[in-house]
Amino acid sequence: MADPFSQSAAKPQGVGVGPIPFDRARLDRAMDEAGVDALLVTSHINIRYLTGGYHCLFYDTMEELGVSKYGPTILYRKGQPERSFFLGSYFDKEQLPNDPIWVPNAELGNWVGTTTPPLIADWVKKEKLEKATLGIESPFLSVEVYTELVKLLPDVKWVNAVTVLEYLRAIKTPQELETLRIASDKVVEAMQYGFRRLRPGMSSRDIEKVVADRERELGMTFDYCLVGFGKDTNRTPRANMTFEAGMIADFDSGGNINGYIGDLCRMGSHGEPEPLQKQILDEINHVQMSARQPMKHGARGGSILEAAQAAIKECEHGSWMGFIVHGMGLVSHEAPRLVNRPIPYANEWAERPLETGMVVSIETTVAKPDCGYIKLEDTIAVTATGCEGFGDGGRGWNPIGS
């Protein structure tokens, strides 16, 4: 059998085509800082990112297969992308000639991830990395694959490299920014359509389907739509939550385009909201707009949170408010993450500077029986001189049923 890692081995169709689609210097620098010699990339998200968008269509809505799962892998050696390898399935072998990738070498035809450890070990030995530090995506690597790798490569030091890859993805290219802008606009458009279609007697499950169908009509992959009615603070869509005349509603929806997520929250009202509800949304908007003020290239990441906290103290109902800020892209809640409450993230990005091309979600929420669930969630891109909101329509009270 031919050695698939030999430089003279025949290359499958569709590999080694086109330029590297990511900032290689940034990735190598992050690997250097983490002390990582090579990467084993196994998540759908980072496979997609490192290949410039490639994903196996057969596994778009599943990765389970029999008693194991699909196991695509990119093997990347710091500073030597020409040594990179892609390990894929029978279905990748069929698709790659139509959707080629830059990775110069590939071994295809594996059905599931459990067939990859011997191939990974062969590559590691070929590259003389048996005693090196290799980065893996610990949350996204199956136990059965990891256990076998440890047996095959007992002297390798394995470290979690999720943050290395997050650092790479944190800066969006112009194309990524445009996709996020479009995704955000379309999610807001779908939610506004839902407010117009909402009628007394409809359940939250009914209106969730309306928003979902509209996002699909707009060319998106629907992810979710949380729905709140009146003063009920439970937003799980369900058949027994029914909209009544005079109620407010909140839609918190996510949908994606080519994996890039639009995730925003908007409010609607059937007639005039109560004075307290109006006041709270005004206060929430004050916090949201204040959080944008320090955003620009070079500003401390933590300055966003500090600006929001200062604004909350100015609000009459600030003690009721929750605020979080997190990055947006191929992953919801990706870097830069800047809070460690109420979600227990390490806020290591708080002391780092913001950079042009970073995209964050800012969310301010009040959820109390006095007023119901009132929230704004906005998507903001950092620019050289400030920031820009994506999907900024409908930030006030959207009329319901009109």
The enclosing H or E element of 45 equals helix 44-50
Quick one: CA dihedral 144, 141, 224, 338, positive or negative?
A: positive
Please give the radius of gyration of the chain, using alpha carbons only, rounded to the nearest integer: 24
Residues of the chain with CATH 3.40.350.10: 24-169
What is the topology classification, in CATH, of domain 24-169? Answer: Creatine Amidinohydrolase; Chain A, domain 1 (3.40.350)
Rounded to 5°, angle at Cα 45 from 237 and 55:
100
Residues of the chain with CATH 3.90.230.10: 174-399
- CB–CB of 296/382 below 8 Å? yes
Bridge partners (DSSP) of residue 105 are 85
Bridge partners (DSSP) of residue 57 are none
The predicted model scores a pTM of 0.94
CA–CA gap between residue 129 and residue 132 (Å, rounded): 5
- 127 φ, ψ (degrees, to nearest 5): -85, 0
| CATH classification number, 174-399, choose in 3.30.450.20, 3.40.980.10, 3.40.1210.10, 3.90.230.10 | 3.90.230.10
Q: Tens-of-pLDDT digits for all 402 residues of the chain?
A: 457 666 656 788 999 999 999 999 999 999 999 999 999 999 999 999 999 999 999 998 888 888 888 999 999 999 999 999 999 999 999 999 999 999 999 999 887 888 999 999 999 999 999 999 999 999 999 999 999 999 999 999 999 999 999 999 999 999 999 999 999 999 999 999 999 999 999 999 999 999 999 999 999 999 999 999 999 999 999 999 999 999 999 999 999 999 999 999 999 999 999 999 999 999 999 999 999 999 999 999 999 999 999 999 999 999 999 999 999 999 989 999 888 777 888 778 999 999 999 999 999 999 999 999 999 999 999 999 999 999 999 999 999 998
